Amino acid sequence: MPTDLWRFAEALYQRPGVEVACLLLQTQGADVCLLLCAAWLERRQIAYSDERAEALRALAQPWQQQVVMPLRQLRQNWRELAQSDNALAALREQVKKLELAAEREQLERLEMCTQDWSNSTAKAPPNWLERLAPQPGNRDALQTLRIAAAHLSA
């Protein structure tokens, strides 16, 4: 399993069903970067606490709202027009790359936030995914993420 969050997220996103699950959760208001971080924390058996979850949310929410979402909205708004305008299609691809770079930066910031967090000594799994998903979360989509994360190579 990749140890850093960015590589973990890349590997997880490529697993069967994960992209569809993430897009479904995103349409329900989820911050996919936050959920990828949650899957990473679960896989690493990092102890959950409300304070830790709040620290992640406080870091992720402004970045999502002020950086990622405006780029995503612009890219999505240009989808139809870009099909018949090559120059706009090229600009749209640049915006898509910026959106991905913004998501990578968010994941790196989330990882930095978790640097000193210890593994769980409790027998119960940490349940980061349910705790960081929007309520009500889609249990099937969250389970897809959890299972895919569990099957990433060590």
Domain that holds residue 98: 5-150
CA 100 to chain centre: 11
Q: Name the CA radius of gyration of the chain, rounded.
A: 16
Give pLDDT, residue 152. Answer: 86
Spell out the residues 6+ positions from residue 87 whose beta carbon is closer than 8 angstroms to its own: none
- The rounded average pLDDT for each run of 10 residues, N- to C-terminus, in the chain (154 residues) is 87 95 92 96 92 96 97 96 96 97 97 88 76 83 93 76
Give pLDDT, residue 120. Answer: 65
Domain count, the chain: 1
Distance of alpha carbon 128 from alpha carbon 38, whole angstroms: 5
The pTM of this model reads: 0.91
Give pLDDT, residue 54. Answer: 96
CB 104 within 8 A of CB 36: no
Question: Which residue, chain included where needed, has tokens 């240009």?
Answer: 78
CA 131 to chain centre: 14
